[in-house]
Amino acid sequence: KQEVTQIPAALSVPEGENLVLNCSFTDSAIYNLQWFRQDPGKGLTSLLLIQSSQREQTSGRLNASLDKSSGRSTLYIAASQPGDSATYLCAVTQGGSEKLVFGKGTKLTVNP
Amino acid sequence: DTEVTQTPKHLVMGMTNKKSLKCEQHMGHRAMYWYKQKAKKPPELMFVYSYEKLSINESVPSRFSPECPNSSLLNLHLHALQPEDSALYLCASSPDGGTEAFFGQGTRLTVV
């Protein structure tokens, strides 16, 4: 059974700092990995999707990497801003499955 | 248009009521999903429809009844719910099962 773990559970940083969020998964037979952002009481916003054959994806100040063999992904946020404050969720899809398996998320607070 | 629209945004219902949640997407996606999210927890999959057919039912109680009238619409019919069913209900869609998922803003359901 696939399990997804996100470390740390919460992170507080000053504005302008570069930061890394971590995601690990137990079964490396994934189809893809997706990073989401969730604001309190709101839905999920897709940030980046990495296919199993890819090593990284970039969008603006965000960069996500994937090491499938070791079961790890990182989300790098450059020059953090207070507007980046949210919960960041990592989710994987197994090959042949339609199901997203989520980690518990990292709650990020960026202080002005 | 990468939007998944859910209505209503908020719903309060009694335990004897019957209500429905609605979800709509016009991206031509062939897979649609219902997730349930309790406070401070990750989303949990309830149902998946693929090409308008129910492909996954995660052992959800029968008081939740999904319906996919056409490729753009997904409903969740609610009947005789319990207070513990209070949660944020999220709809998502993807081009095909297991590809990039796009989420709606959710319906905040309170059962009294």
Peptide bond preceding A112: is omega within 30 degrees of 0, i.e. cis? Answer: no
Closest to A93 (Cα-Cα) out of A17, A22, A29, A5: A29
Contacts of B48 in chain A (CB under 8 A): 98-99
Render pLDDT for A56-92 as a digit per residue (tens, 0 to 9). Answer: 999 999 999 999 999 999 999 999 999 999 999 999 9
E strand map for B26-106: 31-37, 44-50, 53-57, 64-70, 73-79, 87-94, 102-103
Q: Which long-range contacts (CB under 8 A, 24 or more apart) does A64-67 make?
A: A64/A33, A64/A35, A66/A33
Backbone angles phi, psi at A84, to 5 degrees: -80, -10
On the question of pLDDT at B1 being above 70, the answer is no
Give the number of C-alpha atoms closer than 13 A to the C-alpha of residue B76, restricted to the C-beta side. Answer: 31
Note whether A46 contacts B101, CB cutoff 8 Å.
yes
C-alpha B108/C-alpha B112 separation (Å) is 13
pLDDT at B11 over 90: yes
Q: Is A41 on the interface with B (CB under 8 A)?
A: yes
* Average confidence (pLDDT) over A23-40: 95
Kindly report the nearest CA distance between residue B65 and chain A, in angstroms.
19
Who among B31, B48, B104 is closest to A43 (CB)? B104
Which residues does chain B have within 8 Å of residue A99's beta carbon, measured at their own beta carbons? 45, 48, 56
- Residue-wise pLDDT tens digits, B84-111: 999 999 999 999 877 889 999 999 999 9
Nearest of B12, B97, B88 to residue B44 by alpha carbon: B88
Kindly list the residues of chain B whose beta carbon comes within 8 Å of any beta carbon in chain A.
4, 6, 31, 33, 41-43, 45, 48, 50, 55-56, 88, 90, 92, 94, 97-106, 108
